[in-house]
Amino acid sequence: MEPVYILGGGRTDFKRNLKKEGKTLRHLIVEAGQKALADAEVDPAEIQAAAVGNFNGGQFTRQLHLGAFVPEIHPALHGIPTMHTEAACASGSLSVLLGAQWVMGGFHDAVLVVGAEQQKTMSSLDGSDVLGAAADYHIEKPEYGDFMFPKLFGRIAQIYIEKYGASEKELSWVAYKNYAHARLNPMAQMRDADLTYDCASQVSEKNPSVAPPLKVSDCSQITDGGAALVLVSGKYMERMGLEKSKYPRMLGFGSTTDYLALEKKDAPTFTTASKAAEKAFGMAKLTPRDMQGVEVHDCFSITEICAYEILGLADRGKGAELAMSGATALPQVRNEKMGGSIPWEIPVNTGGGLIGDGHPVGATGVRQVFEAYQQLTEQAEARQIEGCTKFLTFNMGGSLTTSVAMIWGRN
């Protein structure tokens, strides 16, 4: 297979409200794409194809056929083939994977990948119903009612706690840690929020219960945002005289699809999701202990804890313990409350994750890889992982239905 390199990337500020700015999904795609092309310092005429990840622009904004906005990024992109990928919250990572496979297979030498979602277009109740399309809507909506996804993941948390004897305090550590990371990220939605552990761990007027044991702080944000990447082949790098060792390369990937309904899955182990990680590690010939940084899909705090175990960062039933140890926090935010015996340092969700950075659904998988790119090229500034050369991303859609794991590295 032809090697795949990240030549550059870009993203938008996730704190923005596009509707208030008088802008639409079109503007997110164009802005993110232009930032990626500028960062890559690539002639737009070199781009041969583009993929756009988006979950539900049709309901959130009444707009689909999103590949047709790619030519608006730059006139040189007019006429290239485009494709839109959708797999709920994994829509963005599938676009990255699609673009990478185009390069691997020798179909294209330079591709643009964009992920975007505009969600602040309706009430929280209506928005929750739109998000319900990522679940088995006609079966699970009657069972779980309004705000279906917090309730689905509240159920996952209940199953985890019953099986492994964990408690709500571990969930609070995940939220506390990701808010702390977000304060180091100038593009994060919650960068100005100061969530204390006491606030994260207690039900209060400021932090009400949503779907026990989940509180508001355990939930990801409703977000408008976009992210984009330029992926190129090894042949392209050679033709342009670029030094390969300076750019992140895809080392391995895995993608799996489980049943849609939660009751058909083996929660909280999610062995189908684990197969995606196993494929990625097998292709890369690496292990979880070889990673210096990880981005996981923390749509809710319990999902991050499950992801530790799905990815092999912790043994089954030990994910909550890993969170409590402080091992997944950046050293620059770890304090006396995070501590005890740290088995190994593996910073997770260095930009704040979905909880702290934000969750523009179709953009999240692309944003995760952009975070990997920034870490691997030492551009992460205050949240930089020292000596980062191997990075894992894990994006999922639905209630752990579609799972995509990717490993990126730089020599």
Which residues are the active-site residues? 89, 359
Q: If you ran DSSP here, which 8-state letter would residue 44 be given?
A: G
The DSSP secondary structure of 72-134, one letter per residue, reads: GT-GGGTT--EEEE-BTBTHHHHHHHHHHHHHHTTS-SEEEEEEEE--TTS-HHHHHHHHGGG
For residues 371 and 298, is the Cβ–Cβ distance under 8 A?
A: no
Nearest to 172 by CA among 219, 131, 205: 219
**Cβ pair 348, 295 in contact under 8 A:** yes
User: Across-strand partners of 27?
Assistant: none
The amino acid sitting at 397 is G
**Phi and psi torsions of 260, nearest 5°:** -75, -45
CB atoms within 10 A of CB 335: 11
Q: d(Cα 408, Cα 353) in Å, to the nearest integer?
A: 18
CB 106 within 8 A of CB 2: yes
Length of the chain, in residues = 411
With tokens 């089954």, the residue in question is 316
Q: Is 290 helix (H, G, I), strand (E, B) or coil?
A: helix
